[in-house]
Amino acid sequence: MDIKKLQALVIDALEDVKAQDIRVYDTTHLTSLFDRLAIASGTSNRQTKALAASVRDKVKENGGHIVSIEGEDTGEWVLVDLGDMIVHIMQPAIRDYYRLEEIWGDKEVKFGAAKRTAKRTASEPMDGPAKKVGRHLAASQTTLDEDKPKRAPRKTASTSAPAAKKAAPRKTANKTASKSAGTTVKVATRKSPAKKSPAKKAG
């Protein structure tokens, strides 16, 4: 059985009988005998026995193998050996005395946090991108609406201004041409009397 599945079954079995202060530790870096170690507390001999029975039944129902169960006679400390996982079910006084967490507990498995992160990752892909897309769409629509009226007056101003500028040089050219023509005509009329005076003296 997969260690994660086995771990989940043990936690569910302990929670069904209301075990207190459930802790799970990864022990792969400390020993090759088992991969996980679980510690839970029961307030009485009856509860510790019931917790051990719940773990045994839950694992068996899902095809797991029970290697051995020790300590059911007294109920102060019950050990359930599942092969890849060891479960210690202890009364609070025994647990405080032996402090197994200090021996095996340098790498705790946060099964509660793992459930929360699984829920978050399932909800975030649905909600997060949708909100971002909506904001981008709204922003693009506002920018398009703002740009449309601004572009229209710019085009009208640009088209009318060159027309006025082009028309102005044409008028000035006509004026200069007329002025130049007038001056040439006046000069020609002024020179004509000078030519007539020598002709009169010769006669």
Digit-coded pLDDT (tens) for 162-184: 444 444 444 444 444 344 434 44
Please tell me which residue, 71 or 110, carries the higher pLDDT value: 71
Non-local CB neighbours of 25 within 8 Å, separated by 6+ positions: 36, 37, 38, 39, 101, 104, 105, 106, 107, 108, 109
Q: Answer whether residue 127 shows pLDDT above 90.
A: no
For 110-139, give the DSSP string: -HHHHHHHHHHHHHHHHHHHHHHHHHHHHH
| pTM (whole model) above 0.75 | no
98 class by beta-carbon count within 10 Å (0-12 exposed, 13-18 middle, 19+ buried): middle
What is the band of 24 on the pLDDT scale with cuts at 50, 70, 90? Answer: very high
The mean pLDDT of the chain is 72
What distance in Å separates the CA atoms of residue 72 and residue 76, rounded to the nearest whole number? 8
Cα(82)–Cα(36) distance, rounded to whole angstroms? 10
Position 112 scores a pLDDT of 66
How confident is the model over 88-123, as pLDDT tens digits?
Answer: 999 999 999 999 999 998 899 987 644 443 344 344
For 188-202, write each residue's pLDDT tens digit. Answer: 444 444 444 444 444
Structure-block tokens of residue 60 = 């068996």
The two three-digit tokens of residue 115, written as one number: 């459930």
Amino acid making up residue 2: D
Report, as an integer, the average pLDDT of 72-77: 94
Q: What's the CA gap between 9 and 6, in Å, rounded?
A: 5
Which pair of tokens denotes residue 104?
């095996």
pLDDT at 106: 85
Closest of 12, 74, 14, 16 to residue 46, by C-alpha: 74
User: 11: how many CB neighbours lie within 10 A of its CB?
Assistant: 22
